[in-house]
Amino acid sequence: MLIDLARSVGGYLHDVFVTRLDAWVMLGFVAQAFFTARFAVQWIASERARKSVVPVSFWMLSLGGGVLLFTYALYRHDPVFIVGQGFGVFVYLRNLHFVLRERRATLGAG
């Protein structure tokens, strides 16, 4: 059963990447890469600071991945995915607003 599943997934990925380059699936993979990168960025920043930190790049990657996944969800007509990513994009924008507002205030005070 597991071997059949692996063959099925392998066959699908072969079709997507080799037989017929599916641009929408590629967009989904790029979006997922943004989300993976944001965790790597946050982890590295926290290790360097020796405490938990969330750099601006985390929110930028979140926003980029969220917008791309939201677009992909619209294409797929997946209401659960659309609502989840739509809300996420709002949260990422709001957090970026807070971070950038704080930076402007700090620069203006200095």
Domain tally, the chain: 1
Look up the domain containing 90 and give its range: 28-109
Residue 60 in domain: yes
pLDDT per residue over 24-82, tens digit each? 888 888 999 998 999 999 999 999 999 999 999 999 999 999 999 999 999 999 999 99
Residue 98 in domain: yes
Look up the CATH number of the domain holding residue 32: 1.20.1280
Residue 43 in domain: yes
Q: Can you tell me the distance from the alpha carbon of 57 to that of 39, in angstroms, rounded to the nearest whole number?
A: 10
Residue 62 in domain: yes
**Quick one: which H or E segment has residue 19?**
none
pTM: 0.76
